[in-house]
Each structure stands twice: as structure tokens, then as C-alpha cells.
Structure 1
Amino acid sequence: MASATPMAAGGLGDNAARLVKTPSCGNNFFMPKPNSYRPFQPDPAQVALIPEISGNAINGLGESAPRRPRLVYWAPDPDTIPHGAMQRWFYKVNPDHPALVRAREQRAQMASETMPEVTGAPVQRVPEDWNAALAALPEDRQFGASDDRLFDMWGVAQMDPHWVYEGQTVTQSRIIMLGFAHDYAEIETAPEPEAGAEVVKQYGRAMRAAKRVAGWLRLQGWDAEPLTGPMTSKVMMIPPAIACGFGELGKHGSIINQEFGSSFRLSAVLTDAPFAPTPKRCFNVDSFCESCRVCENACPPEAIAPYKQTVRGVEKWYVDFDRCLPFFNQTFGCAICISACPWSRPGVGFNLAAKLARRSERTTS
């Protein structure tokens, strides 16, 4: 897995999580102030759209047997899912906010880019050379842009059918994962519209990069399919990103990466080009999250549990979908938990990882 320098710097500031530093408290780097968003009262118009079936049930909360995931939100056609009316309601939040309008326009421009057809016989490289060629793309202005990199992280995983949504088929053997860091100065304003606009902006970058990487592969004779969040529809993004080395799952349900914390977005490319899978990385996030309560205290609808739960046969950190969604919708994507996460503060992650590694060495020696 490779990564670049963070896109932005800045302190935590007086962010939406209402946190202050407190010294000498182990992993609990912060203590909460009263949460100004609690108690949260969802808009009655949105409440009227809540379906009878729980989103947690769709996600498989409490199920002891493994199964493939079911699409719970962000359907290309909202009418095909139980929460589709709520998804449509989301689109009506702050439709005229200038920052959101600009971000949507930029993303639409990127979506309009055409992709080449598969051309010629497949180029042959050994797996390590394919990885090296992918890693070099952000520096190639033919694929990037004059003002930013094509992507900030990359990794490759062997495709796992357990990542594919029910009703979908994936035949490709590899999934290339791409990561896109938020501008922390923007995301720390969550849940203000500027943070939502930053998310849209990074999903735009993600779309552009996935299409250009897929196009690059097609011009070398390999079929490739780009997938961009949030409407990936075919494949879950977080499991392959963890498998290819982006980081570990945090208590807030997002990946924690050593460099960017949870402040980044994902896209992917499906292909049979023989890239070498990149290794999974572990740096003791579990032990950190077990004793840290920052995101729990910051979450307005109290959707983040202090313990792991069983989801489709796997014990993992899980965010209560039914509690989270109304506030998420009402604030055009919230993002409080990822902005409040101590790992997301620029320059903090590597030091935290080193501290946890030293602690682990002491306990095992």
C-alpha cells in the first residue's frame, strides 16, 4: 500500500464534537463537553418515511451465520430498497448551498469523462511491475491534474465473493482500491454544509481516478470496471480496503489509517490484470478504540456502541444504522465521527501507531 502527503494541515479546533485536550489519560486523549446536538429530534417529514424493516436487520446485525451483504442505502435506483424514500429525502437537504452546488458541478464534470474501449492484446508484466506502474500514475500528469494528485493511497486485494452484494456478480480476480484524503480544515466543520461539500468533492476525485485507472488498463488490453462511492452497488468498499492494507476498522464503522485517520474516501477498479495483492496492516486500532470514547460522545444520535457486535457471523465494530441515518440525512452526511476521531488530526496517526506498538511490545515481552 502506498500513500502521499496529507492534503491539508490544521488543528482540531472548536469542532462539532465539542472536544478539549486533557493530559495523562491513556488512550482517552479527549474528554467531552456537552454535545450541543443532543437530544436529536429528527424532522417529522423524514420520520414519516422510515420503513417497517430495520436497516440493522438488512445489514445482518445479530446474525450468527455468514452471508453476503444486502444493499441498505445508496442504491442507484432508490425505489429498489426499503430506505429509498429516505435516500430521496437526503437529496433535498441544502440543495442551493453554494459549496454543495460547486462540489456537485465539479463531480458532474468528472462523471462526464468518457472511457476508452479495451484495445489490443493484454500487456504482460509480472505482478510487481504492475504494482509499480500503478504507484507511478499520480506523478503522471497525463492521468492526474495540475492542482492535485490522481489518488493519495492505493492497494490491491484478491477478490472475495463475500464482499459482493446479493444479486450482483463479479467475475474479476482483483480489486484495486484507491484512497482520497479530505481537506481537514473543511471536514472538521462537520456537520456544516462545507463538510458535506468536501465529501462530495472527494467522491468526485474518486470517480475521476477510478475511471482513469480503468481507462489506463483498457488501453493496455485489460478489461477494467470502475466503482465509485457512495453508490458502488456491486461491492462493499471497506472490507477490500482493509484487506489491501489501508488500515483497520474503527469503532465508528470507518477505516482508521495511520496517515489520514478516517478522513478519506474510497473508489475501486475491478480487473483481471495480475497485480500483486498488497498486505493487510494492523497497528492495534482495536485496543485503542476499546478505551477511547471520542466518537461515541461526539455522535449526536448516539449510534456508536462501546462494544463489538455480531454482523453476518463476524464480531466487529458496528454503527446503529437506524439511529445514524436520520441525523446523517438531516445534515447532508454528518461526518462528525470521522472529524472527531483523534487519528484524523493531521500528523497524529503515525505517533499514535508508534505509541501503541511500544505498548504492545511491553505487554508481550
Structure 2
Amino acid sequence: MDTGDPKGHSRRDFGKIMATLFGAGAAATAGPIIGLAQAEEQIKKNREKLQVVEGSRIQIDENKFQRFSSRNIAFNVVSRELGESWYKVGYQKNLAKNLGEGRTGKALEPVGQAQARSAASLAFASTSWNVSTGAHGEGHENEGILSWSSYKMPKFITDKPPDEKNPENLTQQIKVVARLFGADLVGIAPFNPAWIYSSTQTNTYDPGEPKTKDIVIKDVPKPQGDERELVIPSDAKSVVVMAYEMNRLMVQTSPSFLSSAATNLGYGRMGVGSIFLAEFIRGLGYWAIPSKNDTGVSVPMAIEAGLGENSRMGLLITPQFGPSIRLSKVITNMPLISDKPIRFGVEEFCAACKKCARECPSKAIPTGEQAWEGPNECSLNGVKKWYSDTKKCLHFWLENGSSCSNCVAVCPFTKGPSWGHDLVHFMVDKAPLADGIWLGLDDAFGYGRRRSDKEIWEANFSSYGIDPKKG
């Protein structure tokens, strides 16, 4: 199925639109509840300038495409290959190396023992928040706080039929509440079974034989599951996709414990946001499935929800924060108004840039053209895109002793809108023969340079380090 490559918005207006979108996004993270509603309305108006004319920009080859199983996520595959949990290998065995010698990668000023320990402690402390909302084998689909049925909402509320059925009113409420629960961006996509995992591995990071449950879609009144399968009701209508900004300065210390902490803080926020929003939806008389990285593939859902575009590195790039985000989602039967996919030049930009591939220490990011198949079993084949080798990426994490976010750190979109960024876009659009020049300009401006640990401890951050006006 080829869903087409329809016309997008002219990139000549890129700078003006990006600045407007970024301003609305910043207001949304800071304002009270009435400010959130106003900011969302402004983003809605500006999104219309970037919307794809018709259809989705995701192209699928039905002869090659199959729903993906989480047993083939790199974290699970590499654990089986190692015969031991990748997490244990990477974060426990290499802890002494990082505390004693600093980190691998490009040279910085020496990191002292005390400072290295502080960075490691922050990474592990922030991981506890991630684990508490379902991660690292301690939370799966339809288990604990990620339950597919009501977690704490009283039954006399959840069992009551919906009072509000107007999609426009419900959509406004959902977007405001999603922001109130911590989302920096929120979009709505129609439910698409293609992006739901075919099965989920329940013994996460276990080096033994994978234990899986099928994820199926059936005509049942509410989400349910047993030892064999998890069931999503066939009346699923919408997916609410939420993006949470990660702190840019912390990400730019990558590969390090401080960049891991930025990621973990994002994971914790996305867990809280999806769980809280699911409970709110249940309180209105509809069913809801909260999801972090579980249940389905987040990036294509976010693309169809109008939050951004796919990139060379395989991550979603948003107009407001670039790829420096985490994604969560909530699947529901609530009747909501879907957003449309947007286009603001990412595909063309990535084709010329390749900075993420250049700065990838594992060389996991491709430098060539888009393809229909990836390098190994960890790839969701049958979709036209750039395929990163996630196994190579994870093996570098093991070597380094902490996660790596170099691709996010150096991406020109991470820094948000600026006159320099607009200049680069103008050059790519108007002077394709000069494509090799603009990357040098981006480097010359110092964008994406690696930050020192000292800069982070002396930075003036707001709560969770997410204020886009800082740093």
C-alpha cells in the first residue's frame, strides 16, 4: 500500500512558521490551564499551515510489511545473544569503569571521581521513576500501573455510560488534560492496527527463551488479557500521542550518565502522563490503554497524529523540539477528532545533512538512501524509511557503560528555530549543489557541541530541566 507523497507546505515559509509553532509550544509548557487551552488552539491554527494535503506520508509495502513483535526489540535480542540482561552488563559491570576513568568518546576535561559519581547517581535516581511507571522488566502491558483496566478510578464512575459524546468537546478536554499531566505536545491519530505489536515479550531482557503474548483485536467490550493473549477491542477509534521535551544541555553531554538522566526523566514523565490520561478517559465512561514504549510502535503513531516527521536516525523530529523528546500514547474508543500529518522539510533536510550518521560512534545510522528493509531482525520491514542498526547502537552502550544520544544531541533541529537554521534550510532548498557547505556552517556555529558535566551542574534549569528558554 503506497499512501503517497502529497505536496507539503512550501519551505520558503519555514522560518516564520517554525518560530510561531515554537512560541506556542513554549507557552504550552509554562501556562496555567486556561493558557494551555489557548496555546493548543494557537498550535492547531499553525499546524494547518504544515499539514499534508491528503493521506499519510508513511509508505508501506504490503508484500514485505508485518506487524512487529517486541521480542525483536534490540534490548531483548542483545540480551539473548549475551546470555545475560543487557541492562546488567551495561550499567553494573561498566559502572566502575565510568566512575574511575570518566567516559569514552571525544576528549573533554577530566571528570573527577566525585563528579562522575554524582552523574551516575543522577542517572540511577531518575531510572527509579522510569521503573515505577513500568520499565526494565518490572512493568508490562496490562500489568500493575500499566493496567488496561481502571487502576484507581472508582467503579461508580467508570461503569457509568458517557455523558459527553461530542468529539469536538472531548478533543479539547483531552488535549488540555494531556498538557496538564505534563505533555509538551499532544496530537491525535486514528487507530491503526498496523502499528500495534503482533506480540509482546513478557520476560523482558531475559536471556532465556522469549515468553510472549499475542496482541489481538477482537469484538470485546473492554481491553482484556490472559496468559496467552492481550485483547484490544475492535471499537478502538483513536490514539492520543504525547511528546515530552528532554533537556537539551544534558542530552548534549552524550554519551554519558547525564544524558542518560535526561532520557530517564523523559521516560518517567511520559509514564505518568499516559497513566493519568488513561484514568481520566476511563472516568468519562470510555476505555483506555496507557502505553510507553509498549503495545505499539510510537513514531508512526506520532507522525499520523501530526506531531512531526521521521528522520534519518529513525526518531520523530518535531518543529518545536526536534528529536529531543520522548513519546507515549493512549489508545481509546473515545470519539476524537484526528490531527493530520505535517510536513516541514525534514525528509529533504536529512537527505542532505547526515550529521547524526557522522557523529554516531557505532555507525548504526545509515548514510545512504531510504529503504524498505532494515539490517536485521530488529527492523520493522516493509516501511519506506531510513533504517538504523539498533543492535550496533546498543552494543556501543555496553562498551561505553551508559546510553548514547549523540544523534539527538547534534541534530540541527534539536536547537529549535534560529536564523542560522533558517539559512541552512534556504541553502538546501535553493542551492542543492552546495549541500556540502551547510554542515560546515552548522559546525562552525558550534551547534551540537559536546557539553561538559560542569556546565550541567552550573546551569539554571527549571523543574525537570524542561524550560525551553534555558540554555
TM score, norm. by length of structure 2: 0.56
> How many residue pairs are counted as aligned between the two chains?
293
Distance 2:300 2:423 in 1: 21
Q: Give the partner amino acid of 1:321.
A: T
- Pair 342,188 (structure 1): closer, same or farther in 2 beyond 3 Å: same
- Among 12, 18, 26, the residue aligned to 1:5: 26
Q: Give the partner amino acid of 2:283.
A: L
Q: Which residue in the other structure is 1:244 paired with?
A: 305
Q: Larger relative CO (CA 8 A, sep 6+): 1 or 2?
A: 1
The answer to whether the 8 A contact 1:191-1:334 is kept is yes
Offset of residue 285 of structure 1: 1.0
- Pair 74,82 (structure 1): closer, same or farther in 2 beyond 3 Å: closer
Gapped regions of structure 2 (runs ≥ 5): 1-20, 31-60, 96-119, 135-143, 146-150, 199-213, 217-231, 374-380, 433-471
Distance 1:92 1:106 in 2: 21
The answer to whether the 8 A contact 1:342-1:348 is kept is no
Match runs of 1:87-236 below 5 Å: 88-95=85-92, 97-110=120-133, 114-116=151-153, 118-137=158-177, 140=180, 144=181, 150-166=182-198, 167-169=214-216, 170-171=232-233, 172-229=236-293, 232=294, 234-236=295-297
The answer to whether the 8 A contact 1:94-1:193 is kept is no
- Pair 174,84 (structure 1): closer, same or farther in 2 beyond 3 Å: farther
- The answer as to 2:396 corresponding to 1:327 is yes
Q: Give the partner amino acid of 2:244.
A: F
The answer to whether the 8 A contact 2:167-2:337 is kept is yes
More deviation, 306-315/178-187: 306-315
The answer to whether the 8 A contact 1:257-1:349 is kept is no
Offset of residue 203 of structure 1: 0.5
Q: Which residue in the other structure is 1:66 paired with?
A: 65
- Among 266, 271, 296, the residue aligned to 2:357: 296
Distance 1:84 1:300 in 2: 23
Offset of residue 89 of structure 1: 2.1
Match runs of 1:14-93 below 5 Å: 65-71=64-70, 72-73=72-73, 78=76, 83-84=79-80, 86=82, 88-93=85-90
Distance 1:242 1:280 in 2: 6
More deviation, 318-327/183-192: 318-327
Distance 1:190 1:134 in 2: 35
- Pair 63,336 (structure 1): closer, same or farther in 2 beyond 3 Å: farther
TM score, norm. by length of structure 1: 0.71
- Pair 349,110 (structure 1): closer, same or farther in 2 beyond 3 Å: farther
Kindly indicate which of the two structures has a greater share of residues assigned to helix.
2
Q: Give the partner amino acid of 1:309.
A: A
Q: Percent identity?
A: 22
Offset of residue 132 of structure 1: 0.9
The answer to whether the 8 A contact 2:274-2:328 is kept is yes
Offset of residue 324 of structure 1: 2.0
Distance 2:64 2:420 in 1: 36
Q: Give the partner amino acid of 1:212.
A: F
- Pair 107,305 (structure 1): closer, same or farther in 2 beyond 3 Å: closer
Distance 2:410 2:359 in 1: 7
1:49-96 superposed Cα distances (whole Å, 9 cap, x missing partner): xxxxxxxxxxxxx99522212322277xx5xx5744557122443357
1:84-120 superposed Cα distances (whole Å, 9 cap, x missing partner): 4557122443357201221023334556865425341
Distance 1:98 1:294 in 2: 31
Q: Give the partner amino acid of 1:244.
A: A
1:138-165 superposed Cα distances (whole Å, 9 cap, x missing partner): 565xxx4xxxxx1101111111111112
Distance 2:398 2:306 in 1: 30
Q: Which residue in the other structure is 2:372 paired with?
A: 310
The answer to whether the 8 A contact 1:261-1:345 is kept is yes
- Pair 333,276 (structure 1): closer, same or farther in 2 beyond 3 Å: same
Offset of residue 345 of structure 1: 1.2
Kindly name which structure, 1 or 2, has the bigger radius of gyration based on alpha carbons. Answer: 2
